[in-house]
Structure 1
Amino acid sequence: MVSDSTDLLRCKQLIERKLDWGASESWTSVDFENLQQRILDETGVSLSASTLRRIWGRVDYQHLPSNTTLNTLAQFAGYPDWRTFIKSQVLSDLPPTPVERLTREPVKHAINWVRLSWIAGLFITIVLIGIVAFDQKQPHLNTNQYSFSSKPLTHSIPNSVIFTYNASASPTDSVYIQQSWNPRLRALVDKDSQTYTSIYYEPGYYRAKLLVGKQIVKEHPLLIPTNGWLGTIATKPVPVYMKPDEFIGPTMMRLPVAGIQQKNVPLQPEVPLVKYFNVGNFDPVPLADFSFSSDVKNEYGEGAAACQQTWIELITDDMPITIPLCTKGCVSELTLLDGSHMISGKKTDLSRFGVDYANWINVSCKSDGHKLYYHINGELAYEAALPKKKVTIVGIAYGFRGTGAVRNINLQANDKQVFHAF
């Protein structure tokens, strides 16, 4: 069991009340995977489902969580960081002022050291909170005094990117370059330098940022493309990259279970995530008038993979479009993105995205200039309003919890074919 401190126990209780999923003792593997996604969505930090199971005592582990993990849990519970959470607990734990009992002994000027220590502790706590609050106040910066650009070095993955910047006007040494929206992918750089390199292990459309303290002073789009199709098994810290002939065939993409095992990636109890990407290899397609269709099949449903979670992502230059699928009994765990909003299966009827993988599943998504329409096997499954701003599709990705197959990929713009595969 995790060597729980009282503070960690209280933090977990706050998280459990926030989630309102019932007693944590009854949580399943899917619940911990969903918690992993919720924490990632809200904090930008990915805590693995296995780490979360350890923290909640599902796995025998004799160490306290790392500082990064504690900070992330505190943020998800509603605090800026673990230190602030601890301070809040100190304030709430202060006992009432002791009532002095009268004594017959003539001690006229005795000092109540117990009370004095509590008062001193309270004063120090208040001062520290004030310092933290003061540090969080940052004067508005003139962004025109800063510059920031980037250059990918290859058309393949992994891809190193050279960032060129000028942050010499910064009033602080806290200058950072952030690869994307994820604060975890943030690096401290020398404000008086001009070059920093970073590596991207997955393709996609990112918004790189230059920050001074907590203020974004410059940001720009950054497309990390693939050289054709890229297949990966998501492992940390670096994915396992597949050779084309290991997953690409003449009529479909498919990574057999044996292909995963040959890479020494375990299938249980943590079911691997298999991904296929194609980014930056066709002209951008406007979301206002497009049509996409494809056939998919999830081919692994053993043990912890019973939900056979699958999704298709239309990578855009803004929020992506995602089409989630799973077995019928697991639709509560689905999350759909419509280019503007994140739609949870816990609050929306996404039951039509529950499927039987005994046969190929035909998935399509299209727009008519006003709305997005999602179809599963020819039936309307969901519709949503188009984003108000101009958005274009720049790539396609597939994800399978376990492994799966893809065929008949078609993407059109203005009724003209832009991309086709298999």
Structure 2
Amino acid sequence: MDTPAIKQLLDIIEQQLDWGDATTWQSKDFEKLNLLIFEKTKVSLSASTLRRLWGRVEYHHLPSGTTLDTLACFAGFENWRSFTRQQKPTAISANEKTNIGPPPPKQKNSWGLKAALIIITVAATTLIAMYIRKEPAPVASNAYTFSFKPVTRDIPNSVIFSYDAKAAPSDSVFIQQSWDPQTRTLVDKNQHQHTSVYYRPGSYHAKLVVNNQIVKERPLLIATNGWLGLIAHKPVPVYLNNNEFITRDIINLPVSTILKKNIELEPQPPVVEFYNVGNFEPVPLKDFSFSVEVKSGYYEGAATCRFMEVGLITNKVPVVIPLSANGCVSELNLLDGQHMISGKKTDLSGFGTGLSDWIRVRCCSTANKIQYYVNDKLAYESVMPDAKISIVGLGYYFQGTGSVRNVELKRGDKVVFQAFLTQKTP
């Protein structure tokens, strides 16, 4: 994988980001890079894939053509081939580091160095081509069938996919669990069933892929049986019993419960997640109002920023409202149902607050916008997506741990879902 051309592309991205030496990057940096790449290219390269590319995880295979094209596009080139054609030694000045785009060529280069780079480029491109077969295009999509059946209404949930891909012109047939290409699994085109496990709830779009082209795509809702609590952990989350985090009028996971599960809070605290998905009628994003009260439950050491997120899970791109301590708002990212808004480029200071006390978060549709309020002050507003989007679930994410109460979701004036009411919410 460590060919000179790939290494140079990674170096360019590293310089453009200006986050310092990649050997010092932490897990959150690769997760943030995943979001930045998705925002610009609309292709998701998972944090684990990015760690492999930057040599943080041992991996002895070349990246796929899609991965290389995505990285090149993120760096400002048309695709991987365009990058290799333009490949020259680069040096990005301090003023240029924050501008994503192909770096300007140096004016003075020795012919010997140019010749060496040409040889390296040809060798690298040839090596990549050995691993990227050019497949024939699939036949018409009506020649394929694709359906699925969840096994249970609980998490984890296995899904049985049924398919007919005998018409595929090659053996390059995949089932992709979601929008993320990293969830693709090669299947036998002559077989008819494949199973996958979903470890988190949500609204997914499962796909049948032939020769890198989507021939069938269907929405798939992985619901919860009421509320679900978990502690993020790899490869499988640590699931919570209801009596460990639910009481009559509050969701709360005590620090002591986390420690009892042998999960360390230092040096990096875990992420605690709460979900309720598929248990109420879908609410159109164009006609909704939502409110909740949340509170951070841990703010020691690396959790000093007290990051938390309130998520409205939709049948397409979610709405994710970030919160943090005032001094950390630069690290926030807001999802508005169609775009990611970065605190690096946008004033998201309205989402900064003291998080030791309860914070009331509200958002609602109004005219052609979505408005976001923190403690009844307008923090931000975004343009309403054109697509027909409906809210199908709720999610809460805490750095360390946290609490939730007074949850209310409305369609117009009609209350669709309420939970953990401790007081009358206006």
TM-score normalized by the length of structure 1: 0.81
Equivalent runs, 1:238-257 vs 2, <5 Å? 238-257=236-255
Residues 115-137 of structure 1: CA distance to partner in whole angstroms, max 9, x if unpaired?
9x99999877666667778x446
2:277 corresponds to which residue? 279
1:371 corresponds to which residue? 369
1:334 corresponds to which residue? 332
Give the C-alpha shift of residue 182 in structure 1: 1.1
Give the C-alpha shift of residue 97 in structure 1: 7.0
**Structure 1: 5+ residue stretches without partners:** 99-114
Contact 2:163–2:193 at 8 Å: present in 1 too?
A: yes
Give the C-alpha shift of residue 18 in structure 1: 2.7
Give the C-alpha shift of residue 404 in structure 1: 0.4
Residues 53-101 of structure 1: CA distance to partner in whole angstroms, max 9, x if unpaired?
x958xxxx8x855547899985664279xxx79x949x869x9579xxx
- Over the matched positions of the two proteins, sequence identity in percent amounts to 47
What amino acid is aligned across from residue 333 of structure 2 in structure 1? T
Equivalent runs, 1:6-155 vs 2, <5 Å? 10-21=8-19, 31=29, 34-35=32-33, 37-38=35-36, 44-47=44-47, 64-65=58-59, 67=61, 77-78=71-72, 88=84, 135-136=133-134, 138-139=136-137, 141-155=139-153
Give the C-alpha shift of residue 377 in structure 1: 0.3
CA–CA distance in structure 1, aligned partners of residues 129 and 413 of structure 2 = 60
What amino acid is aligned across from residue 78 of structure 1 in structure 2? A
Q: Secondary structure at the match of 1:173?
A: coil
Count of aligned residue pairs for this structure pair:
391
Q: Does 1:264 align with 2:258?
A: no
What amino acid is aligned across from residue 304 of structure 1 in structure 2? A
Q: Does 1:174 align with 2:168?
A: no
Correspondent of 2:321 among 320, 323, 333: 323
Q: Secondary structure at the match of 2:32?
A: helix
**Structure 2: 5+ residue stretches without partners:** 75-79, 90-109, 421-426
CA–CA distance in structure 2, aligned partners of residues 384 and 207 of structure 1 = 25
CA–CA distance in structure 2, aligned partners of residues 214 and 353 of structure 1 = 40
2:413 corresponds to which residue? 415
Q: Judging changes above 3 Å, is the alpha-carbon distance between structure 1 residues 367 and 13 closer, same or farther for their aligned structure 2 residues?
A: same
Equivalent runs, 1:306-321 vs 2, <5 Å? 306-321=304-319
What amino acid is aligned across from residue 179 of structure 2 in structure 1? W
Contact 1:289–1:369 at 8 Å: present in 2 too?
A: no
CA–CA distance in structure 2, aligned partners of residues 68 and 290 of structure 1 = 46
Equivalent runs, 1:352-391 vs 2, <5 Å? 352-391=350-389
Give the C-alpha shift of residue 330 in structure 1: 1.1
Q: Secondary structure at the match of 1:78?
A: helix
Q: Judging changes above 3 Å, is the alpha-carbon distance between structure 1 residues 167 and 69 closer, same or farther for their aligned structure 2 residues?
A: closer
- How big is the alpha-carbon RMSD for the aligned residues of Structure 1 and Structure 2? 3.7
TM-score normalized by the length of structure 2: 0.80
CA–CA distance in structure 2, aligned partners of residues 25 and 189 of structure 1 = 36
Q: Judging changes above 3 Å, is the alpha-carbon distance between structure 1 residues 128 and 79 closer, same or farther for their aligned structure 2 residues?
A: farther
